[in-house]
Structure 1
Amino acid sequence: MADDGSKQSTATYALVKFAFQVKWDDKEFVFSEVTGLTAEAQVIEYRGGSSKTNSTVKMPGLLKYGNVTLKKGMFKDDKAMWEKFKALNMNTIKRATILISLLDEAKEVVMSWTLLNAFPVKLTVTDMKSDANEVALESIELAHEGLSLTK
């Protein structure tokens, strides 16, 4: 009898990346693309003056997080990203916790990442071309102070 796939383990297939959600201060926003979920440890190199080796010792240093870019289609009278960016005013902006979740085929959260103390640093409005056949997109770039896997 052929296997209909109904008894397969959830670990059989890799996750898809086209279904996700973004919550900014507990309000859900719809984006078409999320990029820049990166974290890296800076490397500290040290060599003691009495070391007999001709190389440095390497050890982990401070963590560094890349900016995250969120892209979405532009809609008439949708000014949500502009309002978020416009609130930026010399360190007086309310920093936000942003939750980015990867969803499975049933739209259930499979994995989530949290951006801590995020704030907008760049807003890009679509480029306009008279011969283009594309959706108008806007993007907002966020700086943040931490990336954690929360699920």
Structure 2
Amino acid sequence: MDESTSQDLVFFKVFNEIGIIHQLGSTAFEKTLPDGLKISQFSVLNHFVRLGNDSTPLQLANAFQVTKGAMTNTLKRLLVRELITIRPDPKDGRRKRVFITEKGRITRDQCIQQLAPLFDILKKSLSESDFRTVIPFLQKLREILDEERNPL
């Protein structure tokens, strides 16, 4: 195996591990969510808390790399639960702006708190330091992928 192939294999292994972790983590997380709330809906709430601003439905669809129709469906479900509000854009009445509600923030925080039993299991084998060590790498990887969306 030449050096290039070996390096490519390392890159693939990282993505493979991330993919498996995503699948296992998502399955475990979904079991803790309140009845009817899906990970896609939680992710929208988390997006607002993480970035701290409002968005248009199209901006959200682009951020999550889904169709506008799929995002509209997700937003409707969040709206029914009163976890978001949707208001006309004051600069352009044809557009709408989406905001997280206080109930949405509380729900998001409660969802994270429901992960405590999983975190307790992880703490038996991994330290907080282990997690802190990988955060910069994962953030940099996310930033690069975010900047290079759809490169192929």
Instruction: Please give the range of the TM-score, normalised by the shorter of the 2 chains.
Output: under 0.3
Decide which structure has the larger Cα Rg and report it.
1
More helix by share: 2
Give the TM-score, by structure 1 length: 0.24
Q: Which structure carries more relative contact order (alpha carbon 8 Å, separation 6+)? A: 1
Give the TM-score, by structure 2 length: 0.24
